[in-house]
């Protein structure tokens, strides 16, 4: 079996979050979905588990669920095949209730292009495209 990554994020409204992620191109996996969670496939190796707050709390041993509108605990980066794909991801997020903005990384956009994209709950994704010529140490 190949190695896979399951990213678990807390969400406040399972139906709305599932629709949002489907609009972004994630595919709901019925075998990993129920009234507490939607398993969303990005690729054969990467899945996002959208978990209701009550279900997410079961894994925290008494910790609070962070409010990603106020506190950042993780930045989730996804590489995409082109600048157009990055732009479409960001535009689709905004069209479906999310938001996005750009951070100046001091790298020309013909070498690296990306956005900070916020989902309905404020969870932060970084869709990015990098040129095959990009060398971050140069």
For residues 61 and 118, what is the distance between their CA atoms, to the nearest angstrom?
Answer: 27
Q: What integer best gives the mean pLDDT of the chain?
A: 93
Residue 68 lies in a domain: no
Residue 3 lies in a domain: yes
Residue 67 lies in a domain: no
Q: Express the helix, strand and coil content of the chain in percent, nearest 5 each.
A: 20, 30, 45
Residues 48 and 97 in one domain: no
Q: What is the pLDDT of residues 14-30, one digit of tens each?
A: 999 999 999 999 999 99
Residues 84 and 38 in one domain: no
The pLDDT assigned to 137 comes to: 63
Mean pLDDT throughout 23-40?
Answer: 97
**More confident: 137 or 58:** 58
Residues 84 and 33 in one domain: no
- Output 81-89 pairs: Cβ under 8 A, ≥24 positions apart: 81/129, 82/129, 83/109, 83/113, 83/129, 85/127, 85/129, 86/113, 86/114, 86/115, 86/127, 86/128, 86/129, 89/24, 89/25, 89/115, 89/117, 89/127
Residue 114 lies in a domain: yes
Q: Domain residues for 111?
A: 73-138
Residues 56 and 116 in one domain: no
CATH number assigned to the domain comprising residue 122:
3.10.180.10
Which residue carries 């506190």 as its tokens? 71
DSSP 90: H
Residues 136 and 80 in one domain: yes
pTM, two decimal places: 0.90
């Amino acid at each position: 079996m190949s190695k896979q990554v399951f990213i678990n994020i807390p969400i406040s409204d399972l139906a709305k979050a599932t629709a949002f992620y489907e609009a972004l191109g994630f595919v709901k996996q019925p075998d990993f979905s129920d009234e507490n969670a939607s398993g969303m496939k990005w690729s054969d190796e990467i899945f996002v588990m959208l978990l209701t707050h009550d279900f997410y709390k079961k894994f925290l041993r008494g910790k609070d669920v962070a409010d990603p509108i106020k506190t950042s605990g993780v930045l989730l980066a996804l590489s995409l095949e082109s600048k157009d794909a990055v732009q479409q991801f960001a535009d689709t997020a905004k069209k479906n209730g999310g938001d996005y903005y750009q951070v100046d990384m001091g790298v020309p956009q013909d070498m690296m292009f990306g956005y900070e994209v916020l989902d309905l709950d404020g969870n932060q994704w970084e869709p990015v495209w990098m040129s095959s010529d990009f060398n971050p140490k140069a």
